[in-house]
């Protein structure tokens, strides 16, 4: 290997290492950092939804669904960060922030949190309010069983091993397209509530 190639390889390794380390500070945040974080999560979720829409409009449904699930995860970060900072018991608690940062990068906790969106309101009414009774075009919640599948769906639709098989089934299955459409609509219509 030439010296130039070695230098280029090392430069690439440094960039990849920096990108892999992520941007979260893994410490207690100040109020302006919380505000920036909330805005960044919302902006990223919105951008992911735009990308999902573009992919779906070109019949790239499997990846569109994967991006929709990622957008849901980004939206889940917003109330979690908000609660972490606003709760006087957790705001200045190093252990609590460590637990928060652990949740922040894991998919399942975020999927579980976002699936609860809407369920709180449903429980407060005792019986579903009119807005919650119609599952189309906007379902205001995901059931416990639904959220449990999100991570596997997202991963399988991104992986090449499953992509061909799943996309063949997915593109031509009206029930799968309907499910993806409902999840996308749920995400899209829920996102303004996190501003």
Measured CA to CA, the distance from residue 195 to residue 191 in angstroms comes to 7
Does residue 90 surpass a pLDDT of 90?
yes
Task: Cis check for the bond before 137: say yes or no (omega within 30 of 0).
Answer: yes
Collect contacts of 147-154 with beta carbons under 8 A, ≥24 apart: 147/111, 147/112, 147/114, 147/115, 150/69, 150/72, 150/107, 150/111, 150/115, 151/69, 151/107, 151/108, 151/111, 153/65, 153/66, 153/69, 154/65, 154/66, 154/69, 154/70, 154/107
| 124 — pLDDT class (breaks 50, 70, 90) | low
| 114 — pLDDT class (breaks 50, 70, 90) | confident
Residues of the chain above pLDDT 70, percent: 67
Top-confidence residue, 93 or 165: 93
Domain coordinates in residue numbering, the chain: 25-194
Does residue 8 surpass a pLDDT of 50?
yes
Burial class (CB in 10 A: 0-12, 13-18, 19+), 85: buried
- Give Cα 52 to chain centroid, integer Å: 12
pLDDT tens digit string along 44-67?
A: 999 999 999 898 888 787 788 888
Average pLDDT over residues 171-187: 64
């Amino acid at each position: 290997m030439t010296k130039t190639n070695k230098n280029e390889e090392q430069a690439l390794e440094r960039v990849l290492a920096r990108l892999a380390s992520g941007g979260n500070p893994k410490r207690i945040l100040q109020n302006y950092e919380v505000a920036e974080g909330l805005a960044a999560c919302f902006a990223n979720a919105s951008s992911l939804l735009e990308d999902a829409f573009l992919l779906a409009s070109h019949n790239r449904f499997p990846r569109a669904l994967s991006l929709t699930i990622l957008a849901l995860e980004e939206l889940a970060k917003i109330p979690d960060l908000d609660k972490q900072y606003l709760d006087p018991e957790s705001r200045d608690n190093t252990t609590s922030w460590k637990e928060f940062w652990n949740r922040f990068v894991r998919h399942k906790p975020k999927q579980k949190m976002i699936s609860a969106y809407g369920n709180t309101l449903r429980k407060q009414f005792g019986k579903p309010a009119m807005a919650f009774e119609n599952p189309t075009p906007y379902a205001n919640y995901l059931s416990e069983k639904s959220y449990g599948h999100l991570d596997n769906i997202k991963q399988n639709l991104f992986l090449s091993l499953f992509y061909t098989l799943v996309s063949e089934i997915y593109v031509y299955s009206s029930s799968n397209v309907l499910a993806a459409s409902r999840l996308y609509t749920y995400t899209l219509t829920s996102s303004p509530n996190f501003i």
